[in-house]
């Protein structure tokens, strides 16, 4: 016998173990949307009249986030736009960009693409090679910088990130194990805007990865399944994720309890992102020293700090 939706009796497509429910496609989508709306309200992530800029990668997670936010923007009265950073990684970046264009087109969400090769003249792998730094660490820094500049230039009140509970918890537990405790302070559902840093919110804070993927698929949202060629095959985060999943399988809802605990206590571990005291002399971005991290990176890799060029290109794009 096939399982039936606990709400309407139609054939079920998903079992939500921690809620003890079988759900059909429509009720599963409504369930995920309800979870996100609940998080937006519980954690006060957005306010009526705000401009929300969603950072979208082209993958299933950010597609799910944008799909739910597009619906929520009508109900909660905020304005939604999207930004995508094209990293210039052969094959992967083209597929990601195409997916974002289709996604935003199908949802009617205005979007901008900020291209690293246009900003810096080289793609991410070459930038990292010349800077002699790991690709993923340069990637994080570049995306953070360009999304923040895009948000500031677009006059956004907040940036929405597609991190789901599995991402956040694996990262939090890893950092706890290594005792990098101040990192935990950055992992709550939101960080406030300070100085030149636009605040960030995580609407999928209590949504599991499997739920985000299934939501994107069932809602027919365009996304790419292409994997970044630099994503590590074996990582500590991967091991932690497998451990958390094994506990979740025996104790359904365990990960939600952890996410809520982290949301309550993230602030105890430090300040979270704060506005650095100075403005970069090249691009004006918040900076610890004379140059911001992006200008230092590009100076080392390319012989010239590129923050001013980046700001100009981003201004044209948004």
Contact 188, 44 (CB under 8 A): no
Q: Residue 62: count other Cβ atoms within 10 Å of its Cβ.
A: 30
What span, in angstroms and rounded, lies between the C-alpha atoms of 109 and 101? Answer: 10
Q: Dihedrals φ, ψ of 271, to 5°?
A: -85, -20
**Residue 317, CA atoms < 13 Å, CB-side half-sphere:** 26
Which helix or strand (DSSP H or E) is residue 103 part of? helix 92-107
114 binds, among Zn ion, ligand SF4, none (CB under 5 to 8 A by kind): none
Binding mask 59-88 for ligand SF4 (x = CB under 6 A): ------------------------------
Phi-psi region of 153 (alpha: psi -120 to 50; beta: other; left: phi over 0): alpha
Identify which of residues 39 and 66 has a Cβ nearer to ligand SF4 in the complex: 66
Residue 230: contacted member of Zn ion, ligand SF4, none (CB under 5 to 8 Å, by partner type)? ligand SF4
Question: Which of 17, 38, 79, 231 is close enough to bind ligand SF4 by CB under 6 A?
Answer: 231
Minimum distance from CB of 274 to Zn ion (Å)?
A: 18
228 binds, among Zn ion, ligand SF4, none (CB under 5 to 8 A by kind): ligand SF4
Nearest distance in Å: CB 230, ligand SF4: 4
Q: What are phi and psi of 193, to 5 degrees?
A: -70, 135
Site for ligand SF4 in 199-228 (CB under 6 A): 228
CB-wise, 237 or 308, nearer to Zn ion? 308
Q: Which residues in the 274-313 window bind Zn ion by CB under 5 A?
A: 280, 282-283, 285, 292, 295, 307
Give the Cβ contact number of residue 232 at 10 Å.
11
Phi, psi dihedral angles at 53 (to 5 degrees) = -110, 115
Does position 139 interact with ligand SF4 (CB under 6 A)? The reply is: yes
* Binding interface with ligand SF4 (CB under 6 A): 135-136, 139-140, 228, 230-231
* Binding interface with Zn ion (CB under 5 A): 5, 7-8, 10, 24, 27, 280, 282-283, 285, 292, 295, 307
């Amino acid at each position: 016998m096939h399982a039936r939706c606990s709400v309407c009796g139609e054939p079920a497509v998903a079992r939500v173990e921690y809620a003890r429910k079988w759900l059909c496609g429509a009720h599963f989508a409504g369930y995920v949307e309800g979870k996100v709306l609940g998080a937006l309200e519980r954690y006060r992530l957005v306010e009526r009249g705000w401009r929300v800029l969603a950072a979208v990668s082209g993958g299933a997670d950010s597609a799910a986030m944008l799909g739910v936010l597009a619906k929520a923007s009508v109900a909660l009265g905020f304005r939604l736009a999207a930004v995508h950073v094209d990293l210039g990684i052969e094959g992967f970046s083209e597929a990601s960009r195409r997916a974002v264009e289709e996604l935003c087109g199908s949802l009617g969400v205005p979007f901008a693409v900020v291209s690293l090769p246009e900003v810096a003249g080289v793609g991410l792998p070459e930038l990292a090679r010349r800077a002699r730094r790991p690709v993923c660490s340069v990637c994080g820094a570049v995306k953070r910088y360009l999304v923040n500049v895009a948000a500031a230039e677009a006059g956004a009140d907040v940036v929405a990130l597609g991190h789901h509970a599995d991402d956040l918890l694996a990262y939090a537990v890893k950092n706890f194990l290594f005792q990098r405790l101040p990192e935990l302070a950055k992992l709550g559902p939101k960080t406030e805007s300070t100085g030149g840093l636009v605040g960030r919110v995580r609407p999928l804070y209590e949504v599991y990865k499997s739920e985000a993927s299934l939501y994107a698929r069932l809602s027919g949202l365009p996304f790419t399944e292409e994997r970044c060629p630099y994503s590590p095959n074996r990582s500590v985060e991967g091991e932690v994720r497998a451990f958390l999943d094994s506990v979740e399988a025996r104790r359904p809802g365990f990960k939600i309890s952890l996410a809520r605990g982290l949301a309550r206590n993230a602030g105890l571990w430090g300040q979270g992102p704060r506005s650095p005291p100075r403005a970069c002399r090249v691009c004006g971005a918040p900076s610890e020293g004379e140059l911001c991290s992006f200008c230092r990176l590009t100076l080392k890799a390319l012989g010239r700090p590129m923050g001013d060029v980046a700001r100009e290109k981003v201004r044209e794009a948004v």
